[in-house]
Amino acid sequence: MQIAMDNVLKSLLEAEQKAESLVQEAEVERDATINQAKSEAHAAEEVFAARIPAIRDQFLQKAEEQTALKVKELERHYEDLKVQVQTAAQQHEPEAVEAAVALLLDTTRG
C-alpha cells in the first residue's frame, strides 16, 4: 500500500510540476503576445504620425479648392448684381436727369 501511495504522490508531484510548467509557458506566451501587440500599436502610431503631413496637405488642398470655387461663385454673383445695377441706372438715367434739371430750374424753392 505504501508503494501505491508513493506512486500517487509521485503522480501528483509530476502533475503539479507539469501544471507549473504549463503556467510558465502560458505566462511567457502572454508576455510575448502583449509585447507584440505593443510593438504593432507603436508601429501603427508611427505610420499614422508619418501620414499626418500628407493628410494635412490633402485637407488644405481641398479647403483651398473649395475656397477658390466659392470666390468664383461670389465673383459671378457680384458681377451679375453689377450688371443689374448698371442696367437699372441706364434705364432710369433719363428720369434722373429730368428730375435733376427740374430741381435746378425750380424757381419756387429759393
DSSP string, 13-81: HHHHHHHHHHHHHHHHHHHHHHHHHHHHHHHHHHHHHHHHHHHHHHHHHHHHHHHHHHHHHHHHHHHHH
Encoded amino acid at 52, one letter:
I
Note the pLDDT tens digit of each residue in 54-98: 999 999 999 999 999 999 999 999 999 999 999 999 999 999 889
Containing structural domain, residue 58: 2-109
Burial annotation 34-49 (CB, 10 A radius, 16+ → b, else e)? eeeeeeeeeeeeeeee
User: Whole-model pTM?
Assistant: 0.51
Could you tell me the three cell numbers for 37? 501587440
What is the domain count for the chain? 1
- Percent of the chain past pLDDT 90, that is, above it, reads 74
Cα(99)–Cα(54) distance, rounded to whole angstroms? 64
DSSP SS3 for 10: helix
